[in-house]
Structure 1
Amino acid sequence: MDATGAPKARLVVVDGDEEACGLLSSLLEAEGYSVEILGSGELLLAHLASHTADLILLETVLPGTDGFELCRLLCGDEAMPPVMFVSSKNSEVDRVVGLEMGADDYIVKPFSDRELVARVKAILRRANRRAPGGKLGLYRFCNWTFFPAQMELKDGDGNTIALSSSETELLLAFVQHPQEPLSRDRLLDLTKGRESFPFDRSIDSHVSRLRRKLGDDAKHPDIIKTAWGTGYIFTYSVEPG
């Protein structure tokens, strides 16, 4: 329990570097989180078979299965917790690949303690807002029905597509502001709020993933169009339910 009597959020740090694990553990425990340290992806998968978690902080470079492959496995299962990369790989390609794999965020070592904590809080806040029983209703557009609380899309044939928390947050921003050009900065404000940071280009990766799940042609999108010089626009009218 934290100081308010609420259960502590359960974080799992996966990193083969003991020193890095110690620093992360100290930082996050000081913020009131329960932290489990694991040294490999294999240990993580074994842990998740019998334990729950609220967020996984994942290094890309790991003994055995690497972080990108782990992220792909985890984010392909809607029952798994959100993933945040805390990585020693700092190229733009690595960041884009991590986000394309389904991660909710990607931060590079060395990082600002304040920024890391803010990003962790933002992911947990978004996930909590979409916990079962959340009162976000549903939204209908085109041939789709969007259930934010369940982090799901259903097509006209009833097929269900699972969304990550970041994809859910982004689609929620679009359906609540349909047919309105939204800049990347505005989308960051709507999805990450005060926890967004300058030069954060994760929006583009999340839009790309969301388009794929909606069957929206990347070269000629119909649902989420690029507003050149501005950002993006959700072109369809939306019917809240």
Structure 2
Amino acid sequence: RGEAKPDSGSFWRESRIACLLSMTAASYGNDPQSDLPDFLKDVSIAKKLAEIGQVQGENPVPQKQADQDQDSPWERGEMLSKEIVASSRNWKEFGSQVASQAWYRGFGKATHKVFVSDGSSAIEELQAAWFSDYTSVLDIMHALSYSLAAARAIHSDRDSAWQCYQQFATWIWRGEVDQVIASLTEHQQQLGAPPPDASESDPREIVRRSQVYYSN
């Protein structure tokens, strides 16, 4: 009693986790998998995307249970090592931890270096500080969760929304993000700009957020 309360931040801190993968890799003159994989077209992926992006709306019901043991839809390199780095420290301290582990495991000698993330500003700053020579790759599942959200905001009909998602997903998979941005810009003009006090569930705000996400 009478004592100052501890800082609320001392009770709970967000966990930060990085996965360091070392794999064999092959180089191709052309995209070896230019078509959107079937599992990203199938309605069974909707539930997972909705969970990742906290997307509202009814998820389509798959016609059959997805086979969890099916082969990978594309050829994968052989995994040589896998290490996990986890911490509750701040992003700056966590970045140095991940960088030191990557250096210790010889990542600097790799001929192909890739940094995969969900595109958040904190992680982008971490990459700029410690992994600036790595190729930045946006996690496909986070990218597609914004497509699903935008498609449902544009179309109230479930089937039409899913067709719209598939088109967005195909463009993203092929690296044609400009097509997605152009389409979202057109739909934003049709819906109108969201007011300053628009809720997060307002279709106009959802489309705006998705457009900003892909533009960044």
TM-score, length basis structure 1: 0.24
Structure with higher RCO (Cα < 8 A, 6+ apart): 2
CA radius of gyration, larger in:
2
Greater strand percent: which structure? 1
